[in-house]
Amino acid sequence: MCLENKRISTAVIRRLPRYYRYLGDLVSRDIQRISSKELSQRMNITASQIRQDLNIFGCFGQQGYGYNVVSLYEEIKRILGLTKTYKLIIVGMGNLGHALMNHESFSLHGYDYVGVFDKNPEIVGKQVSEFIIQDIDSLPSFLEENQADIAILAVTKSKAIDVAKFLIESGVKAIWNFTNKDLQILESEVVHIENVHLTDSLMTLSYKLNEK
Amino acid sequence: MCLENKRISTAVIRRLPRYYRYLGDLVSRDIQRISSKELSQRMNITASQIRQDLNIFGCFGQQGYGYNVVSLYEEIKRILGLTKTYKLIIVGMGNLGHALMNHESFSLHGYDYVGVFDKNPEIVGKQVSEFIIQDIDSLPSFLEENQADIAILAVTKSKAIDVAKFLIESGVKAIWNFTNKDLQILESEVVHIENVHLTDSLMTLSYKLNEK
DNA sequence: TAGATTGTTAATCGATTAACAATC
DNA sequence: TAGATTGTTAATCGATTAACAATC
């Protein structure tokens, strides 16, 4: 049968990159096939969950055999949209913005920077790697000439909402939010937001340290 | 009644920093009291969930009145363990390590750096802010003299597991993992791990961009 | 063919939401 | 007192796990 019309939950989506990572490892180790059972042991989740998760998207396995590693890897790559490339801009070139700019891992997966912005006149015009920091006011005209797919928001908390609104008005369709402010309110059918709340994450860790 | 012996789920723990954030905002705006209903509207969750979440830890509200903002803020601060301060070290002083080092927000909440480490001889000995990058081999002796509570792991993926094991052997009790490698296997009763998988997060975002 | 392992349905578990008595 | 709102139990919803027939 293998219908693919199920509603896909956030929980499943968040596991996809993890599957992709493990399958990538298997590919690079030249492992040809893997069963849900064996993968479940490596990933420390249940085989049942793996089969359920994958089945939402299609029938990628074969009874009695398991999954072909390369083709499953390619399927998940496709599902995640990683057969395309994505153009990134950074808005807010503080320490975090600089670090993300120089982080090589993103380009390995097809995410490439096309511009960096800030509003601080002291750093606008300065060179970082191959880019010159542009004034944020030039963003709308920049976007007309250069399609950007994802904007990394790395401004200070107090400016987060205003800048995010400005990005959306300027036509940005996806914001990767590194500010410690929730931007869910700005999400819509066409605008996607993914939060990285570093401070929240750190607090979760110190909570665990205090559990008895 | 108000017993506090319920098992606390990860879902609840992950919401605590968010409550803390919103309550902090209310405190700084001098708002005295808030009902679960009003907070639910601001946070875009249900009032029922707020009451359930808070009740796990105690009876902080008052019928007919709601919650006192300041005392609820203080309670959550206490629950999260933020009445103490935490000593941080960074292991791996690449771009990300540098950025985290210079990120001011952590110290606002009582997280202070006490040392930074790397194994690359080209950068060991160099100064970053008030610290000199130390060789990672000197970590065990460092830890004997300077208690560190949390180690930020920001080395490359391929070294992640070995370095994490080394940290644990050296006595580190909490690892904030920025590598794109799962370290759950290393978790135990006494060793806590919190992952920040940036690439996974970015992939989730590009997945959303491709949903029809 | 026999063994292995999937795809998929059914059962279980846990988390969220609704409801309302208790009470400020 | 009457109104508001909590604390808490019960109902619902969704996600995970178990089970097994289908099939390679």
- The integer distance in angstroms from the CA atom of A136 to the C1' atom of C20 is 53
Nearest-CA residue to the C1' of C4?
A64
User: A66: Cβ under 7 Å from strand C?
Assistant: yes
pLDDT tens for residues A108-164?
999 999 999 999 999 999 999 999 999 999 999 999 999 899 999 999 999 999 999
Cβ contact B174–A205 (<8 Å): yes
Residues A31-40 have a mean pLDDT of 98
pLDDT at res. B59: 95
Q: Give A202's contacts in chain B (Cβ within 8 Å).
A: 106, 109, 111, 150, 176, 194
In chain B, % helix, strand, coil (3-state, to 5) comes to 45, 20, 35
pLDDT tens for residues A161-191?
999 999 999 999 999 999 999 999 999 999 9
For residue A47, give the nucleotide whose C1' atom is nearest its CA.
D17
> What Å distances lie between residue A61 and A15, A69, A137, A154, CA to CA?
18, 10, 51, 41
Q: pLDDT band at A104, cuts 50/70/90? A: confident
CB contacts < 8 A (A, B): 168
Is the model's pLDDT at B212 over the cut of 90? no
Cβ contact A81–B202 (<8 Å): no
Residue of B nearest to A20 (CA): B200
Q: pLDDT band at B211, cuts 50/70/90? A: confident
Q: What are the backbone dihedrals phi and psi of residue A131, each rounded to the nearest 5 degrees, phi first? A: -115, 150
Q: 3-state DSSP call for residue B130?
A: coil
User: A138: Cβ under 7 Å from strand D?
Assistant: no
Sheet holding B174-177, edge to edge: B134-135, B111-118, B86-91, B150-153, B174-177, B192-195
Q: pLDDT band at B7, cuts 50/70/90? A: confident
Residue A127 β-bridge partners: A132
DSSP state of B194: E
State the helix-helix crossing angle for B69-79 and B47-57, rounded to 10 degrees: 60
pLDDT at res. B4: 61
For residue B173, give the H/E element and its range: none
Cβ contact A200–B149 (<8 Å): no
Those residues whose C-beta lies under 8 Å from the C-beta of residue B18, and which sit 6 or more positions away, are A182, A197, A200, B43
Strand D bases with any atom < 7 A from protein Cβ = 2-9, 14-19, 22-24
Whether pTM exceeds 0.85:
yes
- The integer distance in angstroms from the CA atom of B38 to the C1' atom of D2 is 22
d(CA B36, CA B50): 6
Which of A87, A207, A211 is most worth mutating to test chain B (most B CB atoms within 10 A of its CB)? A207
pLDDT tens for residues A41-61?
999 999 999 999 999 999 999
User: B65: Cβ under 7 Å from strand D?
Assistant: yes
Nearest CB partner across the interface for B17, out of A43, A176, A199: A199
Evaluate whether A77 touches A83 at the Cβ level (below 8 Å). Answer: yes
User: A121: Cβ under 7 Å from strand C?
Assistant: no
Is the model's pLDDT at A3 over the cut of 90? no
d(CA A211, CA B139): 26
User: B124: Cβ under 7 Å from strand C?
Assistant: no
Q: pLDDT band at B1, cuts 50/70/90? A: low
> What Å distances lie between residue A128 and A61, A147, B91, B133, CA to CA?
46, 21, 25, 24
- A82/chain B closest Cα distance in angstroms: 8
pLDDT at res. A48: 98
Q: pLDDT band at A5, cuts 50/70/90? A: low
User: A48: Cβ under 7 Å from strand D?
Assistant: yes
In the block, tokens 């493990």 appear at A22
pLDDT at res. A4: 61
Nearest CB partner across the interface for B14, out of A79, A81, A204: A204
pLDDT tens for residues B50-74?
999 999 999 999 999 999 999 999 9
d(CA B160, CA A106): 18
Alpha-helical regions (H) of B58-195:
69-79, 95-102, 105-108, 139-145, 160-169
- How many residues in chain B? 212
For chain A, how many helices (H) and strands (E)?
9, 11
